[in-house]
Amino acid sequence: MAKILCSFIFLCACFVLSTGARVNHRILSSSTLDHDDATPTGSNFTFVCDPARYASLGLDVSNFAFCDTSLSYEVRAMDLVNQMTLNEKVLQLGNKAYGVPRLGLAEYQWWSEALHGVSNVGPGTFFDDLIPGSTSFPTVITTAAAFNESLWKVIGQAVSTEARAMYNLGRAGLTYWSPNINVVRDPRWGRAIETPGEDPYLVGRYAVNYVRGLQDVEGSENYTDPNSRPLKVSSCCKHYAAYDVDNWKGVERYTFDARVSEQDMVETFLRPFQMCVKDGDVSSVMCSYNRVNGIPTCADPKLLNQTIRGDWDLHGYIVSDCDSLQVMVENHKWLGDTKEDAVAQALKAGLDLDCGAYYTENVEAAVRQGKVREADIDKSLNFLYVVLMRLGFFDGIPQYNSFGKNDVCSKENIELATEAAREGAVLLKNENDSLPLSIEKVKTLAVIGPHSNATSAMIGNYAGIPCQIITPIEGLSKYAKVDYQMGCSDIACKDESFIFPAMESAKKADATIILAGIDLSIEAESLDRDDLLLPGYQTQLINQVASVSNGPVVLVLMSAGGVDISFAKSNGDIKSILWVGYPGEEGGNAIADVIFGKYNPGGRLPLTWHEADYVDMLPMTSMPLRPIDSLGYPGRTYKFFNGSTVYPFGHGLSYTQFTYKLTSTIRSLDIKLDKYQYCHDLGYKNDSFKPSCPAIRVDDSQYNDQFEFEVEVLNAGAKDGSEVVIVYAKPPEGIDATYIKQVIGFKRVFVPAGGSEKVKFEFNASKSLQVVDFNAYSVLPSGGHTIMLGDDIISFSVQIRFC
């Protein structure tokens, strides 16, 4: 079922992509199956413990302690679970929870998605005449490029408002299995579109802010008891863990065993999830299809019970990726397990909810065979019902009762989608300040290429039905007269016969805009890339059109992963290159606003754009981040790769010029060790100086080891603009096999032309300057740590001394 479902989702996405139509591709969704209370004008359902609802069922709500609001959620959930039979309990363990009619417990559909807007992928949500669509924000890789934490949180708030409104109207659930926070380890990964990029800290900060935007109820962010903290909607960070191979040269996620060192697990693969749980207080984590070091993630007690629930103290539930238990039995064939073996091991490992039917069909038999305790079921159900109580499913949350149709696709949300697309645009090249184009001088445009009339391609995957779609042609037509030529019939661009008409158009126009790139037919879930090149004749189209263009040529690229466009970077006929990711329903307006200078781009690449031959140097299935010299494999991500690139992580230009000036710094930090703290050994390269106390374990550091600095950002140009200040740390010289540099902070700041803004950064040295050694200890090295702003615009040393 997992394979069938994912293939169906992919085919639906491709169908929408190819037709350009706004097709409601419901995936296993039906208003009669999972939305029995939906009516043409709203919903008959209020909340479980509504006295009137119980009366209509012939029941007295006062007879049920789980509806007594004077009791804690934990006590109420326990009371509810204790009244169920074994069979009734088991029927609540799948994404479709069947309810218990004799107790007045309603059915509930757990599976809804909200990756970059309320989606209709998953049976918990649907669109119809009452709610025909929702705001489709840019894909995650695009908004990540904004490097703007407040933007990510505001988008989460907008999405959760639309979700809550749709719930009130019977069109959506309250539990959303988003965001995807897997680090993009390899540039070929098809799901880079869904993620915030390749840096664990960046990915983690995105997770924290988007989750807070989705979940936080205003005024209740810091409850004394997190398990009673109300939730606007429930968010889920996925896919845990070390999941970043979908389908590469026949290697599928359903059978892949990710062989990962503990060092890489701590440093890269687990860090965003730890931040999501501990800093974002997410209420759910989803385990992935793959195995990690031989064990399916959804049956690994170390990953689930020990780490998520134990070390990180999750306040919520753990759910499987859809049909992962079936995959464990039929694809991984792990331990030769029967169905009953598999569900028993997963329950005992800490998996609370099964997206699928394996739990509901097999757990009762597993209990009766003595393979798992009924008490293990009780524990999971308690976690699940506490979350539903926090969401108001049992009692309602009055402040959201007024949310309705007018809160979906509001003018404010559509403008926010436009702003997000603008902020995520990255100016890669701009020779001779060719951009922005002048409205006074440019009256005619040749708009050429397979993405010129993009519709569904701009909204990516895990999308719903957008409120509207503004194509690039429509956006550009607001500024100049457009002559549109396809250049290619589609993204594959296998027919060069359309190139000549495009060249003729470019000869006559005041400026030429070429919109090229890739789409879900090249990179998607269940579809990893084979190469980093533009498909078919796209390169030929771009070069030939640029060679004859009458005016400046602007190349606009849509993609998630990087593309080797070295040819365009070095082509003097192509003055400007703009990457826009997949910019959402307002992409056409955002692209035009940037090109004509209504908005000054300030985005930065959240991924390294590698040269094409990078993928020939190592297989996608090689998991280590560090170089493997014995095999000739290079390192992965900017943290461990020191070769040449097309464009590096963090690259991005502006229409203005910014300069930095340090106004205050702390250059040294003395950390006094007590008698229970010990120096920790650390590997150094041969002939390198090794301090007498090389490091201390971070867990042992009990002191305030803060350092801070302030930088003044000056806009020396003539245009207002936003600058992203990225702060990197480089470890002391000589430490063996550690990162080259790593992001420890960033802020996006708006600076008017000729003005300046001061930006203050504060860091905890133990967290920000730590190194994970080969034993997987997180340690703080002594010595000089180099703090770099941007691409080494300014750098200074912070000396760490132990005494």
Q: Which residues are catalytic?
A: 321
SS3 707: strand
Query: Pairing between strand 317-320 and 284-287?
Result: parallel
Give the CA distances from residue 34 to residues 39, 49, 98, 107, in Å, rounded to whole numbers and listed in that order.
13, 20, 10, 8
Largest CA distance in the chain: 83
**Residue 584 token pair:** 């959402």
**Residue 489 token pair:** 């019939």
- To which residue do tokens 């493997």 refer? 628
> What is the C-alpha to C-alpha distance for residues 641 and 627, in angstroms, rounded to an integer?
8
| Cis peptide preceding 732, ω within 30 of 0 | no
What DSSP character marks residue 407? G
**How many DSSP H helices and E strands does the chain contain?**
21, 34
Torsions phi, psi for 111 (to 5 deg): -90, 105
Q: What is the 3-state secondary structure (H, E, C) of 476-532?
A: HHCCCEEEEECCCCCCCCCCHHHHHHHHHHHHHCCEEEEEEECCCCCCECCECCCCC
- To which residue do tokens 């062989």 refer? 259
How many C-alpha atoms does 294 have within 13 Å on its Cβ side? 1
SS3 191: helix
> What is the C-alpha to C-alpha distance for residues 267 and 325, in angstroms, rounded to an integer?
28
Give the CA distances from residue 312 to residues 243, 275, 280, 317, 752, in Å, rounded to whole numbers and listed in that order.
20, 9, 11, 13, 42
130 touches 171 (CB < 8 A)? yes
Torsions phi, psi for 484 (to 5 deg): -95, 130
> What is the C-alpha to C-alpha distance for residues 638 and 742, in angstroms, rounded to an integer?
8
| Cis peptide preceding 619, ω within 30 of 0 | no
492 touches 209 (CB < 8 A)? no
SS3 565: coil
Q: What is the 3-state secondary structure (H, E, C) of 232-259?
A: CCEECEEEECCCCCCEECCEECCCCEEC
With CA atoms as reference, report the closest residue to 733 among 791, 797, 785, 674: 785
